[in-house]
Structure 1
Amino acid sequence: GAFIIERMVEAGVPEGVVNLVQGGRETGEALTGADVDGVLFTGGAKTGLAIHKMFADRLDVILALELGGNNPLIWWDVDDVEAAAFTVVQSAFLTSGQRCTCARRLILPEGPEGDKALLALGKLTERLIVGAPFDEPQPFMGPVISPKIAESLERAFDQLVDRDGVPVKNLSVIDEGKAFVSPGIIDVSMLADSVPDEEHFGPFLKVYRVKDFDDAIARANKTRFGLSAGILTDDKAKWEKFLALSRAGIVNWNRQTTGASGAAPFGGIGDSGNHRPSAYYAADYCAYPVASMEGEGLLAMPEGQVGVR
């Protein structure tokens, strides 16, 4: 954040036009309680809903909410299993799973193909290094945001295990009292719809095994969120069907769910936002359209004007 502000000042933006204010809940409440023209918020759905209610009677305030998601990734009819496993890892565990577009649910076919996929994913996940930014060898993942969040992620994972979820790779706090956790994968197919539709903001991937491709799409869409979604497949027809039926604002084919372009809209539907996509599109909704009709002189009334004696 500070780096961006410094570069803007270097580019000629007057000091004080853009300000970086850091803090917790009290700081956020002070800012949203001020006399503002707009609030652009990126964060959790619970906080976003509170902000939405706060400005429900303020039509004069531009409100743009980007609230994350319980994002699905389908793996179906893929020959290169190792490449697919790497793409899942990039989707689920990049930045320790702390991106709003991270894959939270992996959807696999029942039977040998799904077994092979899960085996390859488990083996690759075992190789991931968790550590501090300047550790050697260089880590793939750093810490989550705080020790408190690390403990809550471990607790949520263990609760699914207690309910007969099948762990593929255990998510656990690495050093007690610190924010480093191992990436976790758990098969919750037997729990199905009883799994809470929540975004666990960390390296926490739930696996669903389904009978056919229609079931895979239905499972992908079975969420109150709708930010990102992806499919890994060699079958272009399956991609086209998924793209047409997917309920998400960012839908990728054979690319990680965490990949997005700033030149395209960034946002989602459902509890993932309020239809104000950020990135390039934010420049449009942060302005207001003005329509004008112009003439250098007035128009004289024509001879024989209808309705005039």
Structure 2
Amino acid sequence: MPPSELLRSIRPHDGTLLWEGPVAGPSAVAEAVARARAAQPAWARTPLAERAGLLRRFAELVTARTEDLARTIAEETGKPFWEAKGEAASVAAKVAISIEAYGVRTGTTERPFAADPAGAMQAVRHKPHGVLAVLGPYNFPAHLPNGHIVPALLAGNAVVFKPSELTPATGEKLAALFAAAGLPAGLLEVVQGGGETGAALAAADIDGLLFTGSAATGAALTRRFAETPHRILALEMGGNNPLVAWDVAEADLDAAARVVVQSAFLSAGQRCTCARRLIVAEGPGEALVERVLALVERMRIGPPFAEPQPFMGPLIDGRAAARVEAAFAALPGRVLLPMRRPDPALPFLTPGIVDTTGHAAPDEEIFGPALQVIRVRDFAAAMAQANATRFGLAAALLGGDRTLFDRFWAESRAGVVNWNRPTNGAASSAPFGGVGWSGNHRPSAFYAADYCAFPVAGIEGTRPHAPLATGLD
């Protein structure tokens, strides 16, 4: 994307222009990082209580302007307004959770150093890294980058934020709310652009990069950071998530079908935790599949502000819709529900479901409303199918008893493991991350504090003392 080119944000539900602005070239990125570098030391010296107080003002502003922020999110992503309001509320809620997490995960501890008779203290404190880059995704353009920005600022870092090139308007609005709360200049710099801008930021004079996005981009960042071990890299990536339904009671089939539909099709399937594979028992699982198909037929799909509200809106743009269509068409097996694109000019897709039992489907994250059904003979085979992926973000069990869930939990290879709840149900008061190609063992949410500051251990005494008593003439 040439530096002279304007970046444009298009409303996916109707194709109209929402926002436009200049692309940040390498020199603009370097200048933004330099401003952040200059501003960061004073911020790090600011008492934690003052940093927390400013972030609380930010949360109050977001709460007061929730509908305005949600409207921008809905217009830019196409997600239903009810869902966008939930995202805006999560932005405000992140502050209190981050303050709690900082105290629990990266606070200060002091205790007497038992080996020192002079009464020294053993202390553990935490320091900020310095300047952290944040690369945000388009599916949650406010909540997910904010999940890095708030704990990073709280820890005393400065941040250079590149929103997704598909959701720049939301990124600008988020930064404006921080500024309105009184965040000093330079502590949150925004650089807009696509892959070239992101690459320039990753190569700039930063102390770390916090990323949410695709596994392919995460792998590219890992290669780029291989020769810079002094810089921290936190990756939150996608998943090919399994939902295993086993021994679901007849009375619970309707509720289980709702769990499947929410797991697979919430946010038009554009969540990294969405279920991509429904694994059921041969024979008994047929009743659940039939109810899922019936429930999807009732699903409302439409623009974000339609009344009554839709369950899901469009995908982010036409290219994303085309990729999902092609990936779904390439899945082997028997189509149970064909995926359709009602208007070729707009990125709305209807959910598609295909039975891939007995076929080797690609181990890829189809980031849209596509669900595979896999039928197996026994629970051992169900677990083998669930773990037959290089990803490891989310997994869930529907049905069964505590003993079966304990087995599911023990054998699952995922960072989020739910029981009788959707795969895309995750608490911000818990860690959020995965293994394999889903992350690099730096979970976010409550554990984001861990990668926003580093521990400093020390033994502190008021007078010089060392036990040098042996080996001297």
With the shorter chain as reference, the TM-score category is: over 0.9
The residue number in structure 1 matching 2:343 is: 175
- Which of 41, 53, 59 is 2:229 aligned to? 59
The residue number in structure 2 matching 1:87 is: 259
Deviation at 1:300, TM superposition (A): 7.3
Provide, for residues 139-183 of structure 1, a one-character-per-residue CA deviation record: whole Å limited to 9, x for no partner: 1011111112212212222222xx4x1112111212112100001
Report the Cα distance in structure 2 between the residues aligned to 1:134 and 1:124, rounded to whole angstroms: 22
Provide, for residues 167-205 of structure 1, a one-character-per-residue CA deviation record: whole Å limited to 9, x for no partner: 1211121211210000111110031xx210000000111
Report the Cα distance in structure 1 between the residues aligned to 2:277 and 2:429, rounded to whole angstroms: 27
The residue number in structure 1 matching 2:276 is: 104
Task: State yes or no: 1:260 paired with 2:426.
Answer: yes
Deviation at 1:90, TM superposition (A): 0.8
The residue number in structure 2 matching 1:308 is: 472
Q: How many percent identity over aligned positions?
A: 53
Report the Cα distance in structure 1 between the residues aligned to 2:308 and 2:461, rounded to whole angstroms: 70
The residue number in structure 1 matching 2:386 is: 220
The answer to whether the 8 A contact 1:151-1:173 is kept is no
Change (3 A) 1:129 1:301: closer
Report the Cα distance in structure 2 between the residues aligned to 1:125 and 1:19, rounded to whole angstroms: 43
Deviation at 1:6, TM superposition (A): 3.5
Task: State yes or no: 1:230 paired with 2:401.
Answer: no
Farther off after superposition, 274-283 or 89-98: 274-283
Report the Cα distance in structure 1 between the residues aligned to 2:278 and 2:185, rounded to whole angstroms: 46
The answer to whether the 8 A contact 1:250-1:267 is kept is yes
Higher normalized helix content (fraction of residues):
2
The residue number in structure 1 matching 2:140 is: none
Report the Cα distance in structure 2 between the residues aligned to 1:42 and 1:144, rounded to whole angstroms: 18
Task: State yes or no: 1:149 paired with 2:317.
Answer: no
The residue number in structure 2 matching 1:296 is: 462
Gaps of at least 5 residues in structure 1 are none
Report the Cα distance in structure 1 between the residues aligned to 2:299 and 2:192, rounded to whole angstroms: 32
Report the Cα distance in structure 1 between the residues aligned to 2:253 and 2:370, rounded to whole angstroms: 21
Change (3 A) 1:300 1:110: closer
Report the Cα distance in structure 2 between the residues aligned to 1:301 and 1:5, rounded to whole angstroms: 53
Report the Cα distance in structure 1 between the residues aligned to 2:371 and 2:466, rounded to whole angstroms: 72
The answer to whether the 8 A contact 1:75-1:231 is kept is yes
Q: Secondary structure at the match of 2:325?
A: helix
Provide, for residues 225-281 of structure 1, a one-character-per-residue CA deviation record: whole Å limited to 9, x for no partner: 001111111411111101011000011111111111122111111111111111121
- The one-letter amino acid of 2:425's match is G
Farther off after superposition, 23-32 or 86-95: 23-32
Report the Cα distance in structure 2 between the residues aligned to 1:172 and 1:125, rounded to whole angstroms: 13
- Which of 173, 178, 194 is 1:8 aligned to? 178
Change (3 A) 1:177 1:297: same
Report the Cα distance in structure 2 between the residues aligned to 1:46 and 1:300, rounded to whole angstroms: 52
Change (3 A) 1:184 1:306: same
Report how many aligned residue pairs link the two structures. 301
The residue number in structure 2 matching 1:18 is: 188
Q: Secondary structure at the match of 1:175?
A: coil
Deviation at 1:301, TM superposition (A): 6.5
- Which of 28, 37, 41 is 2:211 aligned to? 41
Q: Secondary structure at the match of 1:55?
A: helix
- Which of 445, 448, 452 is 1:282 aligned to? 448
Gaps of at least 5 residues in structure 2 are 1-170
TM-align CA RMSD: 1.6
Q: Secondary structure at the match of 2:227?
A: coil
Farther off after superposition, 3-12 or 65-74: 3-12
The residue number in structure 1 matching 2:307 is: 136
Report the Cα distance in structure 1 between the residues aligned to 2:303 and 2:391, rounded to whole angstroms: 32
- The one-letter amino acid of 1:34's match is A
Provide, for residues 21-57 of structure 1, a one-character-per-residue CA deviation record: whole Å limited to 9, x for no partner: 3322122112112111111111111111111101101
